[in-house]
């Protein structure tokens, strides 16, 4: 299996507290990984480091063998590492369709003179339709984004991230604040996307049913360190993980 993302000895601290402590990580192409751990463990910070939103203290991050450690967020996103946010990001008064359409334009504007070419605008519309259909938002395309349920707003945020044709998708707590039904649809969306596009997916999640239900591999972060990694079965039975995170939950 090919390694798509590799992290070597990554360190980052804020005011003496390590959010990333000598992290060593290999993510295989097409894998579906959950990152779990207590509040403040450094999970979101790890996504911020990978996507260039914060600067590391030391270490290296490689994407498809290329050193991206010092690249800017927009460069990293255009190379194919794309994130959806813990709080969804969209234009609330615009329609679902227009939100995804506008996000799609950023993909196509890289090709020269795209506005002058009526066929490329057709491509943008087709691309938008394809994404909305894949995320079960096509029927809701004429609603304002603000009129969507909380669950669908999170799915819209993923739809907008997908317009960038990511190779690696980073999802920060995709089911946070969702009802059990919304959670089920999000789980379905994540599984389907991963399967359909062979999309390498990393997601941060607190809900253990979601984690154990979809992750192929689980990594556990505590105080900036990855203390364990393995399958659901291995993580469930790992005494160190039970002690430091899962407690009596499982
Ligand atoms: N930009 C920043 N400046 C200073 N401290 C920060 C910054 N970003 C994060 N921190 C601190 O780093 C620690 C790790 O934060 P992070 O958001 O990565 O945790 P997390 O594992 O995502 O937690 P949660 O599960 O609550 O989302 C926290 O103590 C947080 O307050
Ligand atoms: Mg977080």
Q: How large is the angle between the packed helices 118-134 and 96-108, nearest 10 degrees?
A: 130
Across 28-37, 42-51, 63-72, 75-84, least confident range:
75-84
Looking at per-residue confidence, does 120 or 189 come out higher?
189
Looking at per-residue confidence, does 243 or 6 come out higher?
6
With a 6 Å cutoff on the Cβ, whether 19 touches ligand 1 is: yes
Torsion 235-201-178-182 (CA) sign: negative
Q: Which two tokens stand for residue 177?
A: 């604040």
Which residue minimizes the CA distance to atom 30 of ligand 1? 40
- Domains of the chain and CATH, by start: 1-80+202-250 (3.40.50.300)
Instruction: Please check the confidence at residue 84 and state whether its pLDDT lies above 60.
Output: yes
Rounded Cα distance between 195 and 177, Å, is 25
Which residue minimizes the CA distance to atom 9 of ligand 1? 45
Per-residue pLDDT tens over the stretch 194-235: 988 889 999 999 999 999 999 999 999 999 999 999 999 999
- The reported pLDDT for the residue numbered 17 is 93
Instruction: Please report where in the chains the tokens 């950023």 appear, as a residue.
Output: 106
With a 6 Å cutoff on the Cβ, whether 40 touches ligand 1 is: yes
Identify whether the C-beta of residue 241 lies closer than 8 Å to the C-beta of residue 228: yes
Rounded Cα distance between 242 and 220, Å, is 11
Cα distances (Å, whole numbers) of residue 75 to 53, 57, 82, 104, 143:
11, 20, 10, 17, 32
Instruction: Please check the confidence at residue 53 and state whether its pLDDT lies above 60.
Output: yes
In 10 A of CB 87, how many CB atoms?
12
Q: Mean pLDDT across the stretch 114-121?
A: 60
């Amino acid at each position: 299996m090919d390694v798509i993302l590799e992290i070597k000895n990554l360190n980052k601290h804020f005011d003496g507290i390590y959010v990333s402590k000598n992290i060593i990580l290999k993510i295989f192409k097409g894998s579906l990984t959950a990152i779990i751990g207590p509040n403040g463990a450094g999970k979101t910070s790890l996504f911020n480091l990978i996507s260039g939103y914060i600067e590391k203290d030391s270490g290296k991050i490689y994407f498809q063998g290329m050193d991206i450690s010092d690249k800017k967020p927009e460069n990293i996103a255009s190379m194919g590492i794309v994130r959806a946010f813990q709080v969804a990001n969209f234009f609330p008064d615009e329609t679902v369709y227009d939100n995804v359409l506008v996000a799609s334009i950023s993909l196509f504007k890289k090709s020269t003179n795209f506005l002058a070419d009526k066929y490329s605008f057709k491509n943008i519309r087709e691309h938008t339709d394809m994404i909305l259909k894949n995320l079960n938002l096509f029927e809701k395309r004429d609603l304002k984004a603000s009129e969507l349920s909380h669950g669908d707003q999170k799915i819209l945020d993923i739809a907008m991230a997908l317009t960038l044709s990511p190779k690696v998708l980073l999802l920060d707590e995709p089911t946070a604040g969702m009802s059990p039904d919304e959670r089920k649809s999000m789980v379905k969306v994540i599984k389907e996307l991963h399967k359909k596009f062979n999309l390498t997916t990393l997601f941060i999640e607190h809900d253990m049913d979601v984690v154990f239900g979809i992750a192929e591999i689980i990594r556990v972060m505590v105080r900036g360190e990855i203390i364990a990694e393995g399958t659901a079965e291995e993580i469930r039975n790992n005494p160190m993980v039970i002690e430091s995170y899962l407690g009596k939950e499982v």
